[in-house]
């Protein structure tokens, strides 16, 4: 068996089109969340919700694409028309990222994402089916199976290349006064989408084209509602509820709808799998941000770990296709697509069990945060002597010079006021206090960790300053986070700057505001690259007030506390609020390997099942149902995340592992009752009549656009 000459060119054009489309989509998706947060200034939570809503839309719209393909335009015109919408969305995203155009970036980006979701969603159910119908069945059944493996390989290859190159291009070029160029990051996917459309259109003369002969979706809806209404009213019982439509609707339509309903029923457990699979871009990426990315002198950032999945899929698909599946067939194991899907789902459960074990290890390195109805207070002594803190928590606490002490798990219901008394010796190092006692009222907030800095004011009195709450959250990229707290005791130094410069010469400068009296200035958290930084403090009066080197490690959250007295810098210390990442990021590889194996067995087999089992007139609708299960899976992730049922992320991973195993047990029970449909010539389904000895001829003659049979 082999390709005919026309099929070689047709299938090549379809696969090349899919490669470019996946490159475009995955490249855009990889940089989207950072664009929403860093450029459009949405919060991380809002960016996450927008991202998942966008992905959901991409997998809901396939229903619309299926309707157009099977009922109105046919697959070729549907792919072409939705691809043009897709291209317009890409261009809008690129334009929105160009400040010189002075267009509202949020509005343009929102419209661009909507058009992209419509475009990619309309294409999704059509491309695989359009490629599959280029084969003659059953003569090329084995070749068709290999096609779906190649098709899935192409999807992952395009995604893999797009996920690598698009972020590199975004970061390698500076534009419009920014050190990143999102206009180029979105513009390159737009160029790839244009190339995708071009490749698809030039292959038209080689395609086997078909046009819908009737509005199948309208007939499907009418027949289904009629049969359902009659089954509720009629006392007569049939083996299948659709048989109530006999006499009113064509027997062929009824028989095809039975097959589609059986397939869609099997799809009902599938969203659980996709709810696990799609967490690679959220929960697993957040997990990676808590890990050490150093490997052989290079730095792996958390979002780059997502590339491991398509890379492994590219390697494993040929191995499974040429080695494992033939061996399984000889042992009469995993012979059909439903068996492979069930086994893939269980492997996905093992992936999440592996992720849960890793998370338990990581949790030993996480900061201890207050529980419900509790709060904490950090007290930092910047003075050159020991302090005594009289408090309602442990009575009396001594805090040594430059030490930080945390009062943990203070009882706190929403907002609770506490009074603490701070006392220092009258002579504190070189300081002599005029007032060496201080009373401080602290309003604690539930779940919050406040920080109190003890210093001296311009009148030589002990003074306590309360900073903004500590944010222990590690950066999503895994880079160190640092904030600067500067205690100013008098107005003798002007235009004070704190400069952090790394070995590459890159600088981050914090400007301390001038004031006429004692005050505290606190910067926002800054994300810096790991490594050694030279800290330089200067002012108009003295450009070299202080110099010292600090090391910032991956995943660390730091507070740099500086205290000025008169015209000198008397205290500088870097405090580690969240310990740096110590577990290497490569420990995620086992779970990525397992989820990649699960994807191959589940995804490839699912696409093959969706195409080969569906009646010819409803293949696109069936594949759209497959993609709809992905959308529902994303929705489940949002729901479970918002419920916030577990304090430990590891427990949530274990819950998903248990859910998928139970779900696959249900799926296997449902699959055991499914009767496979034999695929016949011209992709029609040979359906053996179930009763009444009715001979139903489903062998339709298909016509190409030039009228030949």
| Angstrom distance (rounded) from CA 459 to CA 67 | 78
Query: Which stretch of DSSP H or E encloses residue 487?
Result: strand 481-488
Please give the residue that has the higher pLDDT: either 85 or 75.
85
The widest CA-to-CA distance across the chain, in whole angstroms, is 107
> Which residues are registered as beta bridge partners of 616?
none
120, 28 contact by CB (below 8 A): no
| Angstrom distance (rounded) from CA 687 to CA 497 | 80
Token duo for residue 521? 């200035």
Which CATH number is 474-578 given? Answer: 2.60.40.1120
Kindly give, in sequence order, each residue whose CB lies less than 8 Å from that of residue 699, ignoring residues fewer than 6 positions away: 680, 681, 682, 684
Q: In the structure, what pLDDT confidence band is assigned to residue 620 with cuts at 50, 70 and 90?
A: low
> Which residues are registered as beta bridge partners of 562?
486, 572
Q: In the structure, what pLDDT confidence band is assigned to residue 549 with cuts at 50, 70 and 90?
A: very high
Q: Quickly tell me which residue has 């108009």 as its tokens.
A: 540
Domain boundaries, the chain: 1-212, 271-365+581-621+636-675, 368-470, 474-578
- Rounded to an integer, the average pLDDT of 103-130 is 87
Confidence check: pLDDT of 9 > 80: no
| Phi, psi dihedrals of residue 678, rounded to the nearest 5° | -80, 130
pLDDT at res. 44? 63
Return the closest-CA partner of residue 418 out of 388, 394, 436. Answer: 394
| Angstrom distance (rounded) from CA 645 to CA 10 | 51
What region, left, alpha or beta, does residue 409 occupy, with left being phi > 0 and alpha being psi -120 to 50 degrees?
left
Token duo for residue 234? 């009629």
- Rounded to an integer, the average pLDDT of 578-601 is 92
Q: Quickly tell me which residue has 């959308």 as its tokens.
A: 631
pLDDT at res. 552? 92
Same fold, 1-212 and 271-365+581-621+636-675: yes
Could you name the CATH architecture of 368-470? Answer: Sandwich (2.60)
Confidence check: pLDDT of 709 > 60: no
Return the closest-CA partner of residue 671 out of 617, 627, 597, 606. Answer: 606
In the sheet that 462-466 helps form, which strands lie side by side, from edge to edge? 404-411, 374-381, 449-456, 462-466
pLDDT at res. 189? 86
Return the closest-CA partner of residue 185 out of 76, 90, 260. Answer: 90
- Rounded to an integer, the average pLDDT of 113-133 is 85
pLDDT at res. 282? 74
| Angstrom distance (rounded) from CA 624 to CA 628 | 6
Token duo for residue 211? 């046009």
Q: In the structure, what pLDDT confidence band is assigned to residue 387 with cuts at 50, 70 and 90?
A: very high
| Angstrom distance (rounded) from CA 278 to CA 636 | 11
In the sheet that 531-538 helps form, which strands lie side by side, from edge to edge? 507-511, 497-502, 531-538, 546-552
| Phi, psi dihedrals of residue 176, rounded to the nearest 5° | 55, 35
Confidence check: pLDDT of 182 > 90: no
656, 351 contact by CB (below 8 A): no
Confidence check: pLDDT of 648 > 70: yes
Chain centroid offset of residue 536 CA: 39
Q: What integer best gives the mean pLDDT of the chain?
A: 82
Return the closest-CA partner of residue 338 out of 24, 601, 106, 118. Answer: 601
Is the peptide bond prior to 138 cis by the omega test (within 30 degrees of 0)?
A: yes
Stated pTM of the model: 0.76
At residue 443, the 3 state secondary structure works out as strand
| Angstrom distance (rounded) from CA 1 to CA 136 | 11
| Angstrom distance (rounded) from CA 59 to CA 631 | 5
C-alpha torsion angle, residues 200, 203, 208, 210 (rounded to 10): 50
**Domain 1-212 - what CATH class?**
mainly alpha
Q: In the structure, what pLDDT confidence band is assigned to residue 232 with cuts at 50, 70 and 90?
A: confident
Task: Reply yes or no on domain 271-365+581-621+636-675 having CATH 3.40.50.12780.
Answer: no
Chain centroid offset of residue 642 CA: 15
| Angstrom distance (rounded) from CA 379 to CA 395 | 15
Model pLDDT for residues 311-336, shown as the tens digit of each residue: 898 888 888 888 888 888 788 777 78
Task: Sort strands 685-686 and 678-679 into parallel, antiparallel or unpaired.
Answer: antiparallel
Please give the residue that has the higher pLDDT: either 149 or 630.
630
- Rounded to an integer, the average pLDDT of 37-43 is 77
| Phi, psi dihedrals of residue 653, rounded to the nearest 5° | -60, -45
The residue length of the chain stands at 709
pLDDT at res. 179? 63
Task: Write out the E strands in 45-187.
Answer: none
Q: Quickly tell me which residue has 């590339």 as its tokens.
A: 307
């Amino acid at each position: 068996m082999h390709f005919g000459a026309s099929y070689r060119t047709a299938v090549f054009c379809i696969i090349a089109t899919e490669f470019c489309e996946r490159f475009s989509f995955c490249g855009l998706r990889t940089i989207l969340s950072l664009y929403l947060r860093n450029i459009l200034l949405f919060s991380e939570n809002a960016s996450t919700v927008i991202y998942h809503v966008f992905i959901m839309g991409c997998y809901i719209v396939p229903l619309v694409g299926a309707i157009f393909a099977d009922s109105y335009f046919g697959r070729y015109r549907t792919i072409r028309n939705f691809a043009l919408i897709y291209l317009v969305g890409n261009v809008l995203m690129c334009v929105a990222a160009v400040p010189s155009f002075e267009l509202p970036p949020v509005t343009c980006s929102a419209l661009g994402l909507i058009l992209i979701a419509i475009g990619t969603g309309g294409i999704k159910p059509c491309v695989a089916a359009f490629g599959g119908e280029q084969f003659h069945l059953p003569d090329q059944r084995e070749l068709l199976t290999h096609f779906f493996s190649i098709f899935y390989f192409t999807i992952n290859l395009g995604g893999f290349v797009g996920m690598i190159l698009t972020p590199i291009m975004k970061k390698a070029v500076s534009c419009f006064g920014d050190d990143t160029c999102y206009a180029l990051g979105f513009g390159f996917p737009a160029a790839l989408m244009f190339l995708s459309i071009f490749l698809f259109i030039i292959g038209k003369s080689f395609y086997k084209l078909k046009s819908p002969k009737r509005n199948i979706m309208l007939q499907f809806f009418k027949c289904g509602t009629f049969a359902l209404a009659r089954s509720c009213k009629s006392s007569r019982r049939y083996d299948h509820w659709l048989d109530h439509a006999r006499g009113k609707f064509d027997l062929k339509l009824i028989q095809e709808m039975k097959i589609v309903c059986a397939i869609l029923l099997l799809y009902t457990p599938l969203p659980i799998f996709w709810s696990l699979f799609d967490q690679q871009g959220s929960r697993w990426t957040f997990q990676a941000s808590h890990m050490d990315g150093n490997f052989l002198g290079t730095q792996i950032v958390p979002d780059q770990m997502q590339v491991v999945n398509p890379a492994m899929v590219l390697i494993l698909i040929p191995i499974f296709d040429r080695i494992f599946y033939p061996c399984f067939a000889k042992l009469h194991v995993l012979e059909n697509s439903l068996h492979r899907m069930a086994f893939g789902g269980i492997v996905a459960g093992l992936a999440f069990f592996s992720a849960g074990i890793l998370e338990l290890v990581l949790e030993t390195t996480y900061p201890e945060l207050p529980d419900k109805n509790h709060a904490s207070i950090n007290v930092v002594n910047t003075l050159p002597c020991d302090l005594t803190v009289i408090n309602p928590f442990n009575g009396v606490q001594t805090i040594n010079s430059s030490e930080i002490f945390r009062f943990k798990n203070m009882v706190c219901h929403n907002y609770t006021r506490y009074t603490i008394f701070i006392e220092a010796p009258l002579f504190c190092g070189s300081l002599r206090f005029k007032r060496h006692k201080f009373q401080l009222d602290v309003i604690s907030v539930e779940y919050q960790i406040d920080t109190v800095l003890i210093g001296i004011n311009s009148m030589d009195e002990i003074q306590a300053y309360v900073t903004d709450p500590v944010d222990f959250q590690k950066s999503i990229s895994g880079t160190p986070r640092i904030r600067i707290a500067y205690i100013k005791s008098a107005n003798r130094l002007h235009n004070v700057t704190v400069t952090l410069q790394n070995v590459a010469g890159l600088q981050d400068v914090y400007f301390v505001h001038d004031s006429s009296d004692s005050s505290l200035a606190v910067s926002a958290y800054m994300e810096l690259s790991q490594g050694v930084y030279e800290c330089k403090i200067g002012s108009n009066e003295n450009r070299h007030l202080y110099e010292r080197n600090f090391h910032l490690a991956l995943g660390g959250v730091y507070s740099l506390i500086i205290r000025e007295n008169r015209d000198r810098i008397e205290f500088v210390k870097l405090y580690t609020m969240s310990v740096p990442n110590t577990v290497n990021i490569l420990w995620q590889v086992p779970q990525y390997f397992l989820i990649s194996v699960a994807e191959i067995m589940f995804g490839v087999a699912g696409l093959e099942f969706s195409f080969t089992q569906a009646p010819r007139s409803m293949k696109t609708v069936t594949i759209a149902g497959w993609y709809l299960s992905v959308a529902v899976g994303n929705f489940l992730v949002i729901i479970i995340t918002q419920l916030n049922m577990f304090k430990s992320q590891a427990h949530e991973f274990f819950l998903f592992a248990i859910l998928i195993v139970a779900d696959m047990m249900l799926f296997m029970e449902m699959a055991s009752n499914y009767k496979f449909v034999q695929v016949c010539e011209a992709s029609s389904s040979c359906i053996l009549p179930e009763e009444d000895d009715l001979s139903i001829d489903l062998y339709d003659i298909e016509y190409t656009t030039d009228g030949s049979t």
